[in-house]
Amino acid sequence: MNTNDVSAGRLVRAPEGFLGPEGIRTVFSQARTGRRDFIRGALAAAATAASSLAAAQSNPAPSAGGDPNILNLPEHSKGLGQGVATDGYGKPSRFESNLQRRQSPGLTQTTQSSVSFAPLQSMFGIVTPSGLHFERHHQGWWDVDPSRHRLMVNGSSPGMVAKPLVFTVDEIMRLPSVSRFHFIECGANTGMEWGNVAVPTAQYSHGMLSCSEFTGVPLITLLEMAGADLKKGKFVLAEGADGSSLTRTIPLSQILSGEVLVAYGQNGEMLRPENGYPLRLVVPGAQGVSWVKYLRRIELGDKPYATKDEAVHYIDLMPDGLHRQYTSIQECKSVITTPSGGQVLLDRGYYNITGLAWSGRGKVARVDVSVDGGRNWRAARLETPVLSKCLTRFNLDWVWDGKPVILQSRASDDTGYVQPSYRQNRAVRGTRSIYHNNSIQSWLVQENGEVKNVQLS
């Protein structure tokens, strides 16, 4: 084993179409099959690599010219490195240029009313770097001047709010703040899969999903400051400042708990313009459309508003022909991100099956993983922290024997809800929905190591 194994881990393949010129990162194995204690085997292999690397770096090796005093070291171990970065804001390594959010060719007619997907298959842990957060815009994004932006809090009728207020961003940032980790998932995530398998990779099947630490002020604080009547009020209308006039109804019951935030921070800095700078609503557990960006108005009322974004869009066409409205909580769901569609296993042997699980109703309680198309299930290890309405990372040890297998993950949350199969979901929902598909995902690992998106009927 030598240090070249590191680059083997970065081998890329670029299947046609969706992946762009860079392809995606594959995974690689270090230990061979046949070892009964495969974890110890993998660790031993890693230790050997480390010690031979150390030996290579400390032992003088004869140069081509035969001068034994010249060390056979890479440039970066001999010369002077670069000075502190001059651009003031760091960027990823140039070797990581394949790590990108991507658009789906042909999905939408304009990029202003479109979506970019987060590269779930190449991320670690639970936090989405802000530059890789998925985007969903109804009429393009704006870099709104925070010194001119305002947020109004008013009532639908006289008396609903005693003294309507208009806040500047500075005024909101002076108030007591909280920081919390939450996932955001577009209600249309995995929507193309209702009818059948539609896309090749986890990026496109599940990448309208991201997770950040959000910082802001509980919306209830602003309502109380404005003297809101929290007995008469039952619902809030949230309105964005972009041309789409995006508006959604949020039940006051969810706001009273203090979890709905008027956020300005994302992962330790201000929100990115694409994600709603300078203010966005954070509605933990609710589908993305309720997380209104460029938030400019909050109105307290006593009934749901039935706006275009909840009466006509984001509704579920049921088998009986009726539409289901206001299904805004994202139910428990999970996906294996490695190995996943478009990746290639380079060899049989040990792999860490890893993925993400989440629930809009609370904490992930367990994740079971099957490597035989759902016949047998093993409990995966949940990585801490396991937070409410937040992505949870799971892992499972697995040795691939080189035969075709179907990998699946099935999450349950702390309400006892279990993620359904496609068959179970279609029995209730039919096949004509777009939104709210939380079915169990299947990945087929073929004999040649290539991983494909499949569905079991």
For 444, the enclosing helix (H) or strand (E) is strand 442-445
Q: Which residue lies nearer to Mo ion by CB, 102 or 136?
A: 136
Smallest CA-to-CA distance from 207 within 199, 218, 215, 196 is with 199
Minimum Å gap between C-beta 320 and Mo ion is: 25
The half-sphere exposure of 257 on its side-chain side, counting CA atoms within 13 A, is 8
Q: Which residue lies nearer to ligand MTE by CB, 23 or 273?
A: 273
For 9, the enclosing helix (H) or strand (E) is none
Contacts with Mo ion by CB under 5 A: the residue count is 4
**What are phi and psi for residue 153, nearest 5 degrees?**
-120, 115
Q: Catalog residues that contact ligand MTE under the rule CB under 6 A.
A: 133-138, 186, 240, 242, 244, 246, 274-276, 288-289, 291-294
Q: With binding defined as CB under 5 A, does residue 289 bind Mo ion?
A: yes
CB 118 within 8 A of CB 104: no
Q: Which residue lies nearer to Mo ion by CB, 136 or 429?
A: 136
CB 334 within 8 A of CB 359: no
Minimum Å gap between C-beta 132 and ligand MTE is: 11
Q: Which class for 40: exposed (0-12), middle (13-18), buried (19 or more C-beta within 10 A)?
A: exposed
Q: With binding defined as CB under 5 A, does residue 207 bind Mo ion?
A: no
Which of Mo ion, ligand MTE, none does 25 bind, CB closer than 5 to 8 A by kind?
none
Minimum Å gap between C-beta 113 and ligand MTE is: 8
Q: Which residue lies nearer to ligand MTE by CB, 49 or 317?
A: 317
Minimal CB distance residue for Mo ion: 186
Q: Which residue lies nearer to ligand MTE by CB, 274 or 368?
A: 274
Minimum Å gap between C-beta 4 and ligand MTE is: 38
Q: With binding defined as CB under 5 A, does residue 360 bind Mo ion?
A: no
Please report where in the chains the tokens 């509980």 appear, as a residue: 218
Q: With binding defined as CB under 5 A, does residue 288 bind Mo ion?
A: yes
Q: Cα–Cα distance between 223 and 227 in angstroms, integer?
A: 6
Q: Which amino acid is at 324?
A: R
Minimum Å gap between C-beta 208 and ligand MTE is: 6
Q: Cα–Cα distance between 206 and 425 in angstroms, integer?
A: 17
Q: Which residue lies nearer to Mo ion by CB, 136 or 206?
A: 136
Q: Which of 42, 186, 226, 237 binds Mo ion (CB under 5 A)?
A: 186
Q: Which residue lies nearer to ligand MTE by CB, 186 or 255?
A: 186
Minimum Å gap between C-beta 407 and ligand MTE is: 27
Minimum Å gap between C-beta 244 and ligand MTE is: 5
CB environment 231-255: b (16+ within 10 A), e (fewer): ebbebbbbbbbbebebbbbbbbebb
Q: Cα–Cα distance between 410 and 343 in angstroms, integer?
A: 21
Please report where in the chains the tokens 């802001």 appear, as a residue: 216
Which of Mo ion, ligand MTE, none does 279 bind, CB closer than 5 to 8 A by kind?
none
Which of Mo ion, ligand MTE, none does 240 bind, CB closer than 5 to 8 A by kind?
ligand MTE
Look at strands 247-251 and 235-240 and give their pairing: antiparallel
Q: With binding defined as CB under 5 A, does residue 136 bind Mo ion?
A: yes
Q: Which residue lies nearer to ligand MTE by CB, 139 or 395?
A: 139
**What are phi and psi for residue 143, nearest 5 degrees?**
-100, 85
The half-sphere exposure of 154 on its side-chain side, counting CA atoms within 13 A, is 10
Minimum Å gap between C-beta 274 and ligand MTE is: 6
Which of Mo ion, ligand MTE, none does 275 bind, CB closer than 5 to 8 A by kind?
ligand MTE
Look at strands 349-358 and 333-338 and give their pairing: antiparallel
Q: Which residues bind Mo ion (CB under 5 A)?
A: 136, 186, 288-289
